[in-house]
């Protein structure tokens, strides 16, 4: 008999754990959910009375939290109690790429997964279903199983046993709530049919049966990496073609539209941009590369690694174009950067193209003024690894002596941010950047003044009429 789930514990209150549990709490009012985290500050933010203080910005999230928090959804640091009382435990901790040791630069660092599995082994009682939710390298379930086995064989613990399932998350930041409410599919990998049915019953509260797929555990883990690798590969493909457009007189938007009409290719994920960012794409491809190398599949490893290499090259290429167009130097020139998040509708900056492009320009001596509707100055400081203007000579900065400066500007509505700027560089496709008054902005800038649009969001006629020079990614006619 499959086990009815009354209490869930989710370890990790991040971008995956928070929204996923919020949606489960909304759709399953009879299940009590405890989200736990080691980070007290993060938990306090999830519990903040003012819902704009939530640690994650996702459209629709606040509304759900306001309905379920402290009813059947609880945020705390009570690891022991929450694990003890759970019938099902989701592991949603961070798994960044290892920075040192074996597999550095490619393999995922599993120390947080290991730590949370050890906590589960220590505190769980009775039969517990453990669900891998974080994006993980293939065969991570084996690591979790090994750790849990040690608890099962501990004679001091009564009747304790575990079933490990893989249930990868396909949510996309910025549309996480909608993706969770209307998933293309829910993947459940495992070999304990009853545990798989218990998990599927949770989803059946709002997802139709035909969308719930059962697979073996390794297929589930590999399918997650492969999905992300395919999506990232599409972006590297279209971005590589944008470079060809620029030298041949073609236009990447026209090429995208034309190929997207082929139903075998499809029109989604064909927007050229400054290069993919986010916490998943690079990490997942590098995991795939590591796995292929480990099994001696060098050609396979090289194939996937080139997707990441093109992405880095593309960001360097954009930085160089900006410098070239500004007469070969940006030293001491004010450049306004619009957008720092890795895409619109999120405050997440992990692997954002803006980090690389801004650092390249700072290295060339530019004075950047950065605006993003959701990213804070302190986050930008962490990402750029350099203090803003005042402490540019910071010894810890890895930028060279000639490096420029940056400052954060919260407000673009009064247009003061554009005073004396030589160029505006659009790196994130926020709605507010689509509605700018270019005629007024042009009056404030130093001419010849440039707009660099890496997201294809500006109206080209408006820019031309305002007397501004425009560079658009993949626009061969303009180059």
Choose, by CB under 6 A, the member of 73, 93, 241, 286 that binds ligand ADP: 93
17 touches ligand ADP (CB under 6 A):
yes
Residues 305-344 that bind ligand UDX (CB under 6 A): 342-343
Known catalytic residue: 280? yes
For ligand ADP, which is the closer residue by CB, 348 or 364? 348
23 binds, among ligand ADP, ligand UDX, none (CB under 5 to 8 A by kind): none
Choose, by CB under 6 A, the member of 67, 69, 78, 115 that binds ligand ADP: 115
278 touches ligand UDX (CB under 6 A):
yes
Stretch that binds ligand UDX, among 109-117, 156-164, 277-285, 364-372 (CB under 6 A): 277-285
5 binds, among ligand UDX, ligand ADP, none (CB under 5 to 8 A by kind): none
For ligand ADP, which is the closer residue by CB, 60 or 260? 60
163 touches ligand ADP (CB under 6 A):
no
For ligand UDX, the nearest residue by Cβ is 278
Shortest distance (Å) from residue 91 CB to ligand UDX: 16
170 binds, among ligand ADP, ligand UDX, none (CB under 5 to 8 A by kind): ligand UDX
β-strand pairing of 450-453 with 469-472: parallel
170 touches ligand UDX (CB under 6 A):
yes
Q: How far is residue 372's CA from residue 424's CA, in Å, rounded to a whole number? A: 13
36 touches ligand ADP (CB under 6 A):
yes
Choose, by CB under 6 A, the member of 38, 160, 197, 231 that binds ligand UDX: 231
Q: How far is residue 150's CA from residue 160's CA, in Å, rounded to a whole number? A: 11
173 touches ligand UDX (CB under 6 A):
yes
Choose, by CB under 6 A, the member of 79, 121, 212, 280 that binds ligand UDX: 280
Choose, by CB under 6 A, the member of 8, 9, 10, 16 that binds ligand ADP: 16
Would you tell me which residues interact with ligand ADP (CB under 6 A)?
11-17, 36-39, 42, 92-94, 112, 115-116, 134, 279
Would you tell me which residues interact with ligand UDX (CB under 6 A)?
169-173, 228, 231, 235, 269-271, 273, 276-278, 280-281, 342-343
């Amino acid at each position: 008999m499959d086990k009815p789930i009354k209490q869930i514990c989710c370890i990790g209150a991040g971008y995956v754990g928070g929204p996923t549990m919020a949606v489960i709490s909304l759709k399953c009012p009879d299940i009590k959910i405890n989200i736990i985290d080691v980070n007290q500050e993060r938990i306090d933010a999830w519990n903040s009375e003012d819902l704009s203080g939530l640690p994650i910005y996702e459209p629709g999230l606040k509304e759900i939290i306001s309905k379920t928090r402290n009813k059947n959804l609880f945020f705390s640091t009570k690891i022991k109690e929450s694990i003890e009382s759970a019938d099902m435990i989701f592991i949603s901790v961070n798994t960044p790429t290892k920075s040192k040791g074996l597999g550095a630069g490619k393999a995922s660092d599993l120390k947080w997964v290991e730590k949370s599995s050890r906590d589960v082994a220590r505190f769980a009682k009775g039969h517990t279903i453990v669900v891998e939710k974080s994006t993980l390298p293939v065969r991570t379930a084996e690591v979790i199983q090994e750790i849990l086995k040690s608890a099962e064989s501990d004679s001091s613990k009564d009747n304790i046993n575990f079933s490990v399932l893989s249930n990868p998350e396909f949510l996309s930041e910025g549309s996480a709530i909608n993706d969770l409410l209307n998933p293309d599919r829910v993947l459940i990998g495992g070999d304990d049919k009853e545990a798989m049915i218990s998990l599927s019953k949770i989803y059946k509260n709002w997802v139709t049966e035909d969308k719930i797929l059962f697979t073996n555990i390794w297929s589930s883990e590999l399918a997650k990496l492969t999905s992300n690798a395919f999506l990232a590969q599409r972006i590297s493909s279209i971005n590589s073609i944008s470079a060809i457009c620029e030298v041949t007189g073609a236009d990447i938007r026209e090429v995208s539209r034309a190929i997207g009409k082929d139903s075998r290719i499809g029109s989604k994920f064909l927007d050229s941009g400054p290069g993919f960012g986010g916490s998943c794409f690079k990490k997942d491809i590098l995991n795939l590369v590591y796995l292929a190398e480990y099994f001696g599949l060098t050609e396979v490893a090289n194939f996937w690694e080139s997707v990441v290499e093109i992405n880095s090259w593309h960001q360097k290429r954009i930085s160089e174009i900006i410098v070239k167009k500004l007469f070969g130097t940006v030293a001491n020139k004010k450049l306004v950067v619009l957008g720092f998040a890795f895409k619109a509708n999120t405050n997440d900056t992990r692997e954002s193209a803006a980090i690389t492009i801004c650092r390249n320009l700072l290295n060339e001596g530019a004075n950047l003024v950065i605006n993003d509707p959701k990213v804070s100055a302190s986050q930008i400081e962490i990402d750029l690894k350099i203090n803003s203007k005042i402490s540019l000579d910071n010894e810890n900065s890895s930028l060279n002596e000639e490096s420029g400066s940056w400052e954060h500007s919260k407000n673009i509505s009064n247009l003061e941010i554009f005073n004396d700027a030589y160029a505006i560089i659009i790196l994130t496709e926020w709605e507010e950047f689509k509605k700018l008054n270019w005629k007024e902005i042009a009056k404030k800038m130093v001419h010849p003044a440039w707009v660099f649009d890496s997201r294809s969001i500006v109206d080209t006629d408006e820019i031309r009429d305002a007397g501004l020079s425009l560079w658009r990614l993949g626009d061969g006619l303009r180059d």
